[in-house]
């Protein structure tokens, strides 16, 4: 019983940051064009993580891209600029996206 409760608590604690980050993505309208697992208008977040997994400069470039927008890395559909999203939110979201497996 104690092991089951401990396991449930640990799983809940590990899932909480991911759910908070997904809520942050929802709050900032990111999930209108992206999802974690499937391509929508833009690439799935897991595909972004996979593409940039070995790129040491990816975090800074993706933060800049989220703020300024861009086109060409994933096709010709542009990602609009997101200057209204706080720098802290952008950094949190990019770190979360890059951590996905």
Cα 31–Cα 33–Cα 69 angle in degrees, nearest 5: 110
- Closest to 30 measured CA to CA, from 59, 66, 1: 66
Q: For 38-72, give one letter per residue: b (16+ CB within 10 A) or e.
A: eeeebbbbebbbeebeeeeebeeebbebbeeebee
Residue 30, marked binder: yes
The annotation status of 79 as a binding-site residue, yes or no, is yes
Annotated binding site for heme c: 30, 34, 79
Annotated binding site: 30, 34, 79
């Amino acid at each position: 019983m104690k092991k089951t409760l401990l396991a449930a608590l640990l799983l809940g604690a590990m899932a909480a940051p991911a759910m908070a980050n997904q809520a942050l993505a929802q709050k900032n309208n990111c999930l209108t064009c992206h999802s974690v697992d499937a391509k929508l208008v833009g690439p799935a977040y897991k595909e972004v993580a996979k593409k940039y997994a070995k790129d040491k400069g990816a975090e800074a470039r993706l933060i800049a891209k989220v703020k300024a927008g861009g086109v060409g890395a994933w096709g010709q559909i542009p990602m609009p600029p997101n200057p209204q999203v706080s720098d802290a939110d952008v950094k949190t979201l990019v770190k979360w996206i890059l951590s996905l497996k």
